[in-house]
Amino acid sequence: MTAGKGAAEFIDLAPATRAAGTVALPGSKSISNRTLLLAALARGETTVRGLLDAEDVERMLDALLALGFTIEKTGESRDYRVRGSDGRVPVKRAKLFLGNAGTAFRPLTAVLAFAQGDYELAGVARMHERPIGDLVDALRKLGADIEYRGNAGFPPLALHEDRASDVSAPDRVAVRGDVSSQFTSALLMALPTLAARRRRPITLDIDGDLISKPYVAITTNLMRRFGVDVAQDAWRSFIVPADARYASPGTIHVEPQHFIDFSVDVLKSVAYHGFRRMAVINGHGSNMPMADLIARRVVLETPAICCAFGYYNMGRDDSLKGLESGVYAHADEWETSLYLHYAADRVQMDKAVQDTDRVGRTMTSDSTTNVRFNDFWGRWTKTGVHGDPTKASREKGRRIADAIMKEMLVWLEEFRNWPIEARQDQHRLPVQREIRW
């Protein structure tokens, strides 16, 4: 620790040669609160896994409980069971304190504006300095009765029983796109219940350029997961169908979905800047389903072509030559040899043991047959090993790496020259010509 007179204290940190440990990546705040709200409004019970442990999420949980929704936490985990109300808000009169949680305040304002009840929404002093006028203006045009309890255009708010069912209420409303994407997301999440009440589609127009498109994409993607498919016109307008109705997807994982959305948004940005050939290369077998979903969405939502594969499938026949065990799976001779080649000091060969899994005639719990369980290895083996890592060596690892890289280079040259043909959609949806955020 060094400190000079009148100077800030600082700490000298010596360079680290290595770091080790396990890090649990947190879930997304934006996805956590959107998921909770949609699960509460959906038909059926939803298991939400991996909610972020944060103030915004806690305020949303508190608010939904105060509104009469049934939410149960599973043990000490961040998993919750949410019993949906099929579009209804059970409690018709409530006062909600939402702290400084914008991801709770904005969407709850939109949803409760059409809940046919009386609600008061307030927060900390800083929350009352955050503008909400553009959202309130749009909600009022749709028939909401909203009163400012302080300065006009800012929280706190009082929401009264709405007139949204009036036949004179418009089915089209606009919101500025250059202010906050949370206003757009809040309106989108609230409109399905309103469209169902009116039995008419509702259009949300974007006035100007829409900022933070990836966050709006998170909203529409989650709405699709809950059964509501929102049509859009190049980010200029969104149409919520008359028969929109949220339905539980059963189980939804916040963390993997966040990873998928993040990866897709990165690749969309790459496509936006003109790249037309992309690949998602998986480094671990259990992640392959997510890699497939990422590549599939990129193909559907951009003009680019995108493929996905596991590096371990490259040069597979040559890489298996010379191995003494017939298993090709987790922590086996093949994988351990490769680790010995790249980072021998990280491999504890003194702990290597032979183990096996459950193998049937047509399927197995590892990846040695065409039919496999995408499951925790601990269910099938005591050690997590499939095969015999004791037979692994650095020389075998070198041969495996050479075989992989040899075929990777062949693939790369082929992919560079792969033609991008005009897309023909044989399904009911129109051809997707542009990037969909």
Helix (H, G, I), strand (E, B) or coil at 159: strand
Instruction: At 256, give phi and psi (nearest 5°).
Output: -60, -40
The per-residue pLDDT for 1 is 44
Indicate the fold that domain 29-255 takes in CATH: UDP-n-acetylglucosamine1-carboxyvinyl-transferase; Chain (3.65.10)
Measured between alpha carbons, how far is 183 from 206 in angstroms, rounded to an integer?
Answer: 11
Measured between alpha carbons, how far is 81 from 381 in angstroms, rounded to an integer?
Answer: 30
The per-residue pLDDT for 2 is 45
Tokens describing residue 8: 């800030």
Per-residue tens of pLDDT for the chain, all 437 residues = 444 555 556 677 676 666 666 555 566 788 899 999 999 999 999 999 988 888 899 999 999 999 999 999 988 888 999 999 999 999 999 999 999 999 999 999 999 999 999 999 999 999 999 999 999 999 999 999 999 999 999 999 999 987 766 666 789 999 999 888 899 999 999 999 999 988 899 999 999 988 778 789 889 989 999 999 999 988 899 999 999 999 999 999 886 666 787 788 889 888 988 899 999 998 766 677 788 889 998 998 889 999 998 888 899 889 888 888 876 777 889 999 999 999 999 899 998 998 877 777 787 766 566 776 666 556 667 777 878 999 999 999 999 999 999 999 999 999 999 999 887 665 555 555 566 55
Find where tokens 């204290």 sit.
9
Q: What is the DSSP string of 45-96?
A: EEEEES---SHHHHHHHHHHHHTT-EEEE-TTSS-EEEE--TT--S-SEEEE
- Would you tell me the crossing angle of helices 29-41 and 55-66 to the nearest 10 degrees? 10
Parallel/antiparallel/unpaired status of strands 251-253 and 231-232: unpaired
111 with 139: CB under 8 angstroms? no
274-437 — its CATH code?
Answer: 3.40.50.10310
CB neighbours (10 Å) of residue 414?
A: 9
205 with 172: CB under 8 angstroms? yes
The per-residue pLDDT for 428 is 55
Q: Please give the model's pTM, rounded to 2 decimal places.
A: 0.62
Measured between alpha carbons, how far is 402 from 420 in angstroms, rounded to an integer?
Answer: 30
Domain ranges of the chain: 29-255, 274-437
If phi > 0 it is left, if psi is from -120 to 50 it is alpha, else beta; for residue 259 that is: alpha
Nearest one of 274, 231, 269, 264 to 430, comparing CA atoms: 231
Measured between alpha carbons, how far is 294 from 262 in angstroms, rounded to an integer?
Answer: 9
The per-residue pLDDT for 15 is 67
Nearest one of 276, 250, 255 to 416, comparing CA atoms: 276
38 with 230: CB under 8 angstroms? no
The per-residue pLDDT for 112 is 97
Nearest one of 314, 320, 294 to 411, comparing CA atoms: 314
Measured between alpha carbons, how far is 188 from 216 in angstroms, rounded to an integer?
Answer: 9
- Kindly tell me the burial class for residue 119, based on how many C-beta atoms sit within 10 Å of its own C-beta (0-12, 13-18, 19 or more): buried
Residue 205 pairs in a beta bridge with 174, 237
